Structure 1
Amino acid sequence: MNLLKDGIDNNVVVSCDSDKKLVIDNITRTYPIYKIRLDQLYYNDQNDRIATWIAQYKTENNVSRLDLENRVDYNDLIHNFITDSNRDAIRKTQNNIALVGQQECGVVLSDGRIIDGNRRYTCLRNIERDTGKTQYFDAVILDHSIENNAKQIKMLELMLQHGVDEKVGYNPIERLVGVYTDIIDRGLLTVREYADSVNQSESDIQLEVEKAKLMVEFLEFINAPKQFHLARHFNLVDPMKELYTMLKKIRDEDKKEDLKLAVFSQFLMQPFGDTTRHARKIKKIASNNKFFDEFLDEQMPFVEKVCDELQKFPKVSNKEINMIRSNENLKKNFLHSTDKFVNKVDGDTTRNQPIKQAEKAFDSLDLIDSNILSKLSHDQKEELLEKLNSIVKAVDLLRSTLNDE
């Protein structure tokens, strides 16, 4: 059914006598808003916000795509994904709509696919079920198809996702999956186009791209390619940012690869509490040239054991991950090794602190321009001499302590 033709003729679509401005292909136009009966609409399975939930469903049910033939079952399935992704946001939005009605209109395609407003649509479905009263979704209807206008629709969707109730509780992992899918996997958008659509800098989106690549590499490492729900389970956004920062500072490609494998292995085994905090410990070691190579050498046998465990499972899910993590001895080895080298780095930092402070003191004195001394007032010269004498006394005391050692 075409909502703009058949929908209006069948009285399931009604004009609201109001409109909304949209920017499509850099052209701003005003579009009329309609009230659309809920049973004429269906969720967008290409919505980035539920990408990990759809990936999980496909993996667990061994399917490559969702079945759109039965719209009722299809909508019920995605309804649950959206609800489970953020129950608190659904509750708040639903209470608001029940109290004052739908305040922000959505955007749908003429075949009923929802491009913007999935959460609002979910809340209206709940209200209709609870009250038994027919509900209508307020939305602009675009005479576009997802097949022929994919790029324009995606850019519009990204722009509109910064709406009032849609940006609440946005899971950053879903964002990374969207970046990977739209920019890297499908090549639908360039970094610049994506950045323009979400009103961010290209450098910010490029960082998202690099984190997304690492996320995908990690999933491939653990034999779970594109099982993005596992990335959500591991909560990898901030840890991947820490890893990217480490790798960016390492020039040697072999060391870079070894570090990546060591970090991936520890993320999988999870011998720690907070993953981000643990990644920062490893970053501290990686930034210390004195101990970094030794750390990698000690980590590699543990990494090999992880790889041996992974070879037992050509395809990994949560069940296999729990089995691999049951190796408590290997987890202890990773944790002990990392903590040991953190202590070494901290001790080295403490021992080098006097040298660094002396260097800072010398640099500060070296910055004094001797040509300006003659221009100081008598009082200023006296004050400076007093400070210099204090410095000399402090230096003599340190020198005496060193000679006594």
Structure 2
Amino acid sequence: MLTGWTERANAIDQYIDNGGKSSISSKQMLLFMGQPQELPVYKIPISLLSFNVDNGRFAAEKRLKEQEIGFELDNRNPAHESYFIDLLIPKNAKSERLLNDLESYGQLSPGVITQDGFLVDANRRLACMKRLNEKSPRSCYQYLLVHRLPANVPAKEIYKLEVQFQIKTDLKEEYNPINDLLKIKEGLEHMSEQELLETLDWKPKKLKEYQDRLDLVDGFLHSIDQPENYTILLNLNEHFVEIQKEIAALKKLGFNPFENEKVIDIMYRILEVNLDKDFDKTITQRDHIRNLREAFVDDKIFKVLTKNMFKQDNATSEEIFNDVTAAAEMSRMQRNNDRSEELLKKAINLLTQIQDDSDAFAKKDFKVLFEELDELVSTIKEKVKE
């Protein structure tokens, strides 16, 4: 058993020097150190390779797995290997397709490793080879085709290589969008915005969009005292995308930065509902978030939206959910220019559904709401008489 990573680098050197199955004649072009380079492709035993999931593309999933198992994963610990395999190829249709493809056709494109055998690209392929070899040990599953980088490559250059394979290619769909944001954050730690734009081949507008979304994400996590706990947001990326759109629309309507901050605070409070494990309903970006714009420009809808979330320190998720749902419905009606007669018909239909619910009539909350309704009806009656 190897005792250090220098020893493993030496073992890979020795394996390559010995020839045989260690190397193949193929060479491929790789954009490396700022220019296309022809690097040899080696056939390295999987026993000499290790996963690398500390980069942004896997960071959130790795943290989620650690929360699940109760300890920190170490890609240098062989006993943790099975956890990384589960992380990289979970039981789903995409993983099955990749496993079946490798089983049927073998590895068609090489990965990239550091000098001491850590994967820069092909983590999933290595995980598949290990799983296939466990299932049915065969020599074809015991090697991985890779480019091997020189020693002491700067972290910035490693990042650029990861971007080539993980963001600028069609493989992007395999990853969670929250991890895409973390990958951009990682890039800005290594290089300037201009250099990152050149690396990603993006326009400044797209990078600004990602940075603003990351600011929203970080702001939300700080607001709930969970800084950098991105794992809890793996299913909320589209909510943040929708919030960005709503903020941009409100800016066009003349909202100033102070007013936009108020909008963001409300959106954060709304998103907390989806993190409540004891509440079984979900705020969606389609039915809720995208239908709240009118609430910020119409006082009546705004009062409905914020009825409970800030007036009560202990507002429940159900109360906030119901307020958001009601405000979204009012916004849709206003947006669709529903006639007053149609709204009245809807109200009558809804009231008809509860007129025989005798159990509800005795509840305190029902009586409070009914009094509110009675006052509203009285106000409308006066206007009808006038």
Give TM-score scaled by structure 1 length: 0.70
Q: Whole-Å Cα distance in 2 between the matches of residues 100 and 164 of structure 1?
A: 21
Structure-2 change in CA distance of 1:200 and 1:248 (3 Å): same
**Paired residues of 1:21 and 1:30 also in contact (CA < 8 A):** yes
**Paired residues of 1:83 and 1:90 also in contact (CA < 8 A):** yes
Partner residue, 1:373: none
Return 5+ residue gaps in structure 1 as ranges. Answer: 310-323, 351-405
2:129 to 100, 103, 124: 124
**Paired residues of 2:51 and 2:118 also in contact (CA < 8 A):** yes
Q: Whole-Å Cα distance in 2 between the matches of residues 41 and 242 of structure 1?
A: 44
Partner residue, 1:241: 244
**Paired residues of 2:113 and 2:146 also in contact (CA < 8 A):** yes
Structure-2 change in CA distance of 1:89 and 1:297 (3 Å): same
1:76 partner amino acid:
S
SS of the aligned residue for 2:83 comes to helix
Identity of aligned residues (%): 20
Q: Whole-Å Cα distance in 1 between the matches of residues 294 and 304 of structure 2?
A: 16
Are 2:179 and 1:179 aligned?
A: no
Q: Whole-Å Cα distance in 2 between the matches of residues 272 and 30 of structure 1?
A: 51
Are 2:293 and 1:283 aligned?
A: yes
Instruction: Report the Cα offset of residue 257 of structure 1.
Output: 1.5
Structure-2 change in CA distance of 1:330 and 1:251 (3 Å): closer
**Number of residues of Structure 1 aligned to a counterpart in Structure 2:** 322
Structure-2 change in CA distance of 1:16 and 1:240 (3 Å): farther
2:74 to 34, 44, 67: 67
1:45 to 34, 53, 60: 53
Partner residue, 1:34: 42
Q: Whole-Å Cα distance in 2 between the matches of residues 240 and 141 of structure 1?
A: 43
Q: Whole-Å Cα distance in 1 between the matches of residues 158 and 249 of structure 2?
A: 36
1:193 partner amino acid:
E
Q: Whole-Å Cα distance in 2 between the matches of residues 182 and 163 of structure 1?
A: 14
Structure-2 change in CA distance of 1:300 and 1:163 (3 Å): closer
Are 2:126 and 1:136 aligned?
A: no
2:158 partner amino acid:
I
Instruction: Report the Cα offset of residue 102 of structure 1.
Output: 0.4
Alignment RMSD: 3.1
- 1:119-169: per-residue Cα shift (whole Å, max 9, x none)? 111111111111112410000000244xx6111100111012258774343
Instruction: Report the Cα offset of residue 105 of structure 1.
Output: 0.3
Partner residue, 1:111: 116
**Paired residues of 2:307 and 2:323 also in contact (CA < 8 A):** no
Are 2:144 and 1:159 aligned?
A: no
Structure-2 change in CA distance of 1:95 and 1:165 (3 Å): farther
Instruction: Report the Cα offset of residue 171 of structure 1.
Output: 2.1
Partner residue, 2:262: 258
**Paired residues of 2:57 and 2:175 also in contact (CA < 8 A):** yes
Return 5+ residue gaps in structure 2 as ranges. Answer: 275-280, 341-386
Partner residue, 2:356: none
Q: Whole-Å Cα distance in 2 between the matches of residues 113 and 123 of structure 1?
A: 16
Structure-2 change in CA distance of 1:45 and 1:180 (3 Å): same
Per mean C-alpha deviation after superposition, the further-off stretch among 155-164 and 170-179 is 155-164
SS of the aligned residue for 1:32 comes to strand
Give TM-score scaled by structure 2 length: 0.73
Q: Whole-Å Cα distance in 2 between the matches of residues 327 and 283 of structure 1?
A: 21
1:67 partner amino acid:
D
Q: Whole-Å Cα distance in 2 between the matches of residues 327 and 165 of structure 1?
A: 39
Structure-2 change in CA distance of 1:268 and 1:305 (3 Å): farther
1:206 to 205, 208, 212: 208
**Paired residues of 1:173 and 1:232 also in contact (CA < 8 A):** yes
Instruction: Report the Cα offset of residue 213 of structure 1.
Output: 1.1
- 1:89-140: per-residue Cα shift (whole Å, max 9, x none)? 2211221111111001000001111001111111111111111124100000
2:293 partner amino acid:
K
1:337 to 308, 324, 327: 327
1:223-242 pair list within 5 angstroms? 223-235=225-237, 236-242=239-245
Instruction: Report the Cα offset of residue 204 of structure 1.
Output: 1.1
SS of the aligned residue for 2:337 comes to helix
Instruction: Report the Cα offset of residue 251 of structure 1.
Output: 3.5
Structure-2 change in CA distance of 1:115 and 1:82 (3 Å): same
Per mean C-alpha deviation after superposition, the further-off stretch among 334-343 and 90-99 is 334-343
**Paired residues of 1:93 and 1:165 also in contact (CA < 8 A):** no
Structure-2 change in CA distance of 1:40 and 1:161 (3 Å): same
2:31 partner amino acid:
V
Per mean C-alpha deviation after superposition, the further-off stretch among 115-124 and 248-257 is 248-257
Q: Whole-Å Cα distance in 1 between the matches of residues 57 and 128 of structure 2?
A: 16
Structure-2 change in CA distance of 1:240 and 1:43 (3 Å): farther
Partner residue, 1:302: 308
Structure-2 change in CA distance of 1:257 and 1:167 (3 Å): closer
1:264-279 pair list within 5 angstroms? 264-270=268-274, 274-279=284-289
Instruction: Report the Cα offset of residue 173 of structure 1.
Output: 1.9
**Paired residues of 1:215 and 1:240 also in contact (CA < 8 A):** no
Q: Whole-Å Cα distance in 1 between the matches of residues 52 and 94 of structure 2?
A: 19
